[in-house]
Each structure stands twice: as C-alpha cells, then as structure tokens.
C-alpha cells in the first residue's frame, strides 16, 4: 500500500487538544507520524497539500438508523455508508430496528459482511436488548457481543418495564457491556406529536411533556445505582434529564449520553405550520431546553454528538402531522451543523471534535478519534470556514427528510479516509 503525506494541515487531535499547523504521514492504513515539517518518505508517496484545511480524526456516529435488511428503498447499508463518507464519518453504528430485528448472531454477522463489501464508511451495529424489541425477554447479549454487537438497545423504543431494565443492566454488567436507552416514558409520550407547550396548543397538536424524558432517565439512573451496569442515554433534550445525568456523573456512576444537532440547532418553533420534516422523537424542545443542551455539551455532561439519522420516504412524511413518521436524515449535515457551536464561540474546535469522534469511540471502545502514531488512518479533511447552503437534493442518502434544507452553514468536507484509503473526495 502506498503512503500518503498530508502537508500544511491544521491538525486537530481531540484526544490531546492539539490544534496547530503540521504534517501527517499515513502508511499501511495507519498513522505513521504526526509533526511539523515531516521528511518525505522514500518510495511511492502521494503528497496532499491541505492548504491550511483541518485534518482530524474521522467522525464516529454512534446513532444511525439504516433500513437494511427490510426497507432498503429508504436507506441501504451502501447508500448510508456513502452518505456518511460524504459527511466525514468514518465509522457509524446502526440501530437494530430493521426487518427482521437484529437480535441474533446471524444478523450481526450479516451487517459485518455487508460493511466489508461496501468498503466505504465502516458500518457496525448494536443488537436488540430484548427479543424482537418487545420489551420483555432479554436477548443473548454475551453471544451477540462476541459476534460483534457493540452495545444493546431497543432502538427507538424505550425499555419501559423497570424490572426488565434492571435485569438488562445486571445481565450486561456480567459481560461488561453497554446498554443504550431511548429515554421516553411511553405512557407520557406515545400519544403526542411535538413538545408540550404554547405552540402545540396553538397548533392544536397533542404535546409530549419534557418530564417524559426526565422521568425515564431518573428511573434508569436509580437502576444503575443498584446494578452497576454501564448506561448510555441517547439523544437527551431536556434540562431535567441533563441535570440528572450531571449529578449521576458527579456520583461516579458509569453513565454517558449523547445529543443530536437538531436539539441544539433548532427549537419547537421549527414545527411552524405543521412541518412534518421537523417532527422528531424525542421532539424539538423549548428554547430553554435548547440552551441547556448547549450547556451540557460545554461542561462535558453530554459526551457525544450523533446524527440520529432516521430516513423516511415521502409517503411516511407527507401526512397530517399526528400521523407522520418521526425523524430526519443527518449523516451529511452532522459536521457543518455541529460546527455552528464553534463558529458561535460556544465550543473550541478540539472540544467539538472530541464530542464527534473521540468520545463516541471511547464509549463504544473503538480505536478512533485521535491523531496518534499507530492508530487507524480514519481521517477527515475539511474547510471549517467555507460557506454553503444545505440542499437536500444533493444528498447521497436515499431520502431527503431534513428540516435544514436551505440553511446556510460553514464547514465543508473535502476528503474522507478509512484505513488510509480515500472513500470520499470533493470534486470541485
């Protein structure tokens, strides 16, 4: 395999906080050396003049829905991996809510084979915590983990039964595994469509009170105290749940959490005139909660930012608001939308990229998220300042359900590498 030498890059290492001009050499799929004015190696070498663009670890997206197997017309593993590569994502982890549900070893192995066949962004998978996502009978977590499942979750469904959740945490602790929860109390959220409040009342839409999230998180944290199991709360959106997680971390509990760009880039006003493309689960929250999410990212309470990519076809979204599917696509907008936190002066670039790469890799015990010699050369080269406007018709994702269409952003992916091989390059 030939070598690649990146010259004149702005090197961003989230692990060390490094942010300086330098060079990086890739050999045999790994980072060989990082520094200033590296000597050119002998033999065949590709020289890439970065012209001051940022070179950073590829993003690790820890919450992605793909629709293969079962509904490949919405998003296949190939289309999802292609879209992720265009977004600077070098590893994505998919939820198990496919058809059939990923709750046995054969399906975990199927995802691994398909990822190898696609040869773009690395696609890993979670396995279901309960069989068929039914919320009752636990899956064989030990066997599924040995087959390659990174963690266990019921995807977009909460494990609502407290006894089942306690058993799941205890079982997972036996094998030192991670349990990921969709934190919404179903009895308080299943009949709602958007955040409960003045806007929902004015639109005549049934609301979901933020307490539905907070109650579930607080209950689960009590169960973590009892069991000692590793716990991760997905896409947190409310001040109450963030404060609960902050306190749990101060106690030393094995707890982590993530959020997604819509929850710090939008608030409930985005629903506007019944815009179903702004219907999410959990829903867009109040401005107070949006600011609480940013505060959680700033102080490290929220560990990671994930795309929460949820592809739906037109038939699922172009319906009355109450009947429309929840979720938006996010692979190709994860980096530019997150960079708004940097451009607004709310987070430094190394700290932001830590939430996008190193922290999710650490939570899932993956090797990515750092510019260190000997680590895999999973990299993204991007211009943090280049302005452009999001246009859903240019997405490589099969579906275009995004409320960010037309939004002006700064930050453009120029090149993405996985194990030293270029899997995406911007032509233009």
CATH number 3.20.20.10 is the correct assignment for the domain at 58-363: no
Count of CB atoms within 10 A of residue 312's CB?
25
Find, among 151, 110, 181, the residue nearest to 360 by Cα. 151
DSSP class of 139: P
Instruction: Kindly indicate the confidence band of residue 43, based on its pLDDT and cuts at 50, 70 and 90.
Output: confident
User: Is the pLDDT score of 428 beyond 80?
Assistant: no
Active site residue 289: no
User: Is the pLDDT score of 260 beyond 80?
Assistant: yes
pLDDT of 427: 81
Catalytic: which of 13, 104, 308, 378?
Answer: 308
Instruction: Kindly indicate the confidence band of residue 147, based on its pLDDT and cuts at 50, 70 and 90.
Output: very high
pLDDT of 247: 98
pLDDT tens string 294-313: 999 999 999 999 999 999 99
pLDDT of 44: 87
pLDDT of 361: 98
Find, among 177, 182, 212, the residue nearest to 194 by Cα. 212
Average pLDDT of span 129-142: 97
* 241 backbone dihedrals φ, ψ, rounded to 5°: -70, -35
Instruction: Kindly indicate the confidence band of residue 37, based on its pLDDT and cuts at 50, 70 and 90.
Output: confident
Average pLDDT of span 23-39: 93
pLDDT tens string 152-165: 999 999 999 999 99
Right CATH for 3-55+376-425 from 1.20.120.450, 2.30.40.10, 3.40.47.10, 1.10.150.120: 2.30.40.10
User: Is the pLDDT score of 1 beyond 70?
Assistant: no
| The two domains 3-55+376-425 and 58-363 share their CATH topology (first three levels equal) | no
pLDDT of 191: 84
> Which residue intervals of 48-90 are DSSP H helices?
77-86
Spatial CB neighbours of 377, under 8 Å, sequence gap ≥ 6: 4, 26, 29, 30, 31, 417, 419, 420
What pTM does this model have? 0.97
pLDDT tens string 373-395: 999 999 999 999 999 999 999 99
Alpha-carbon distance of 327 to 388, in angstroms, equals: 24
User: Is the pLDDT score of 255 beyond 70?
Assistant: yes
Average pLDDT of span 34-53: 90
Q: What is the mean pLDDT of the chain?
A: 96
Q: Is 226 exposed, middle or buried (0-12, 13-18, 19+ CB in 10 A)?
A: exposed
Alpha-carbon distance of 315 to 293, in angstroms, equals: 32
pLDDT tens string 163-189: 999 999 999 999 999 999 999 999 999
- For residue 232, what is the enclosing H or E element? strand 230-233
Domains of the chain, residue spans: 3-55+376-425, 58-363
């Amino acid at each position: 395999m030939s070598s690649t030498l990146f010259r004149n890059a702005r090197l961003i290492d989230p692990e060390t906080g490094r942010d300086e001009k330098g060079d990086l050499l890739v050999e045999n799929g790994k980072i060989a050396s990082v520094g200033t004015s590296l000597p050119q190696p002998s033999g065949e070498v590709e020289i890439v003049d970065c012209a001051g663009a940022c070179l950073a670890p590829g993003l690790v997206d820890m919450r992605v829905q793909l629709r293969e197997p079962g509904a490949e017309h919405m998003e296949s593993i190939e289309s999802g991996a292609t879209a992720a590569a265009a977004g600077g994502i070098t590893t994505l982890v998919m939820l198990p809510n496919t058809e059939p549900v990923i709750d046995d070893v054969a399906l975990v192995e199927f995802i691994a084979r398909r990822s190898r066949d696609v040869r773009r962004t690395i696609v890993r998978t979670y396995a279901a915590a309960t069989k068929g996502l039914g919320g009752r009978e636990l899956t064989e977590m030990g066997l599924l983990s040995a087959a390659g499942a990174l963690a266990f979750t019921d995807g977009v469904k909460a494990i609502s039964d407290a006894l089942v959740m306690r058993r799941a945490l205890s079982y997972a602790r036996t094998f030192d595994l991670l349990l990921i929860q969709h934190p919404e109390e179903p009895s308080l959220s299943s009949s709602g469509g958007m955040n409960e409040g003045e806007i929902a009342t004015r639109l005549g839409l049934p609301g979901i009170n933020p307490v539905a999230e907070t109650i579930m998180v607080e209950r689960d944290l009590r169960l973590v105290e009892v069991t000692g199991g590793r716990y991760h709360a997905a896409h947190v959106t409310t001040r109450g749940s963030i404060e609960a997680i902050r306190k749990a971390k101060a106690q030393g509990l094995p707890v982590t959490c993530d959020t997604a760009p819509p929850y710090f880039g939008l608030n409930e006003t985005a629903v506007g005139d019944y815009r179903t493309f702004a219907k999410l689960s959990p829903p867009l929250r109040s401005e107070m909660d949006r600011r609480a999410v940013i505060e959680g990212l700033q102080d490290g309470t929220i560990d990671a930012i994930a795309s929460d990519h949820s592809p739906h076809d037109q038939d699922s979204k172009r319906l009355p608001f109450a009947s429309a599917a929840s979720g938006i696509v996010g692979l190709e907008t994860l980096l530019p939308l997150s960079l708004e936190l940097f451009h607004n002066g709310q987070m430094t670039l190394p700290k932001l990229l830590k939430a996008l790469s190193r922290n999710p890799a650490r939570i899932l015990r993956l090797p990515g998220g750092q510019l260190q010699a000997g680590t895999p050369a999973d990299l993204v080269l991007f211009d943090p300042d280049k302005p452009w406007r999001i246009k859903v018709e240019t997405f490589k994702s099969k579906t275009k359900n995004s409320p960010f269409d037309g939004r002006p952003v700064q930050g453009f992916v120029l090149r993405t590498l996985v194990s030293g091989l270029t899997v995406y390059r911007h032509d233009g």
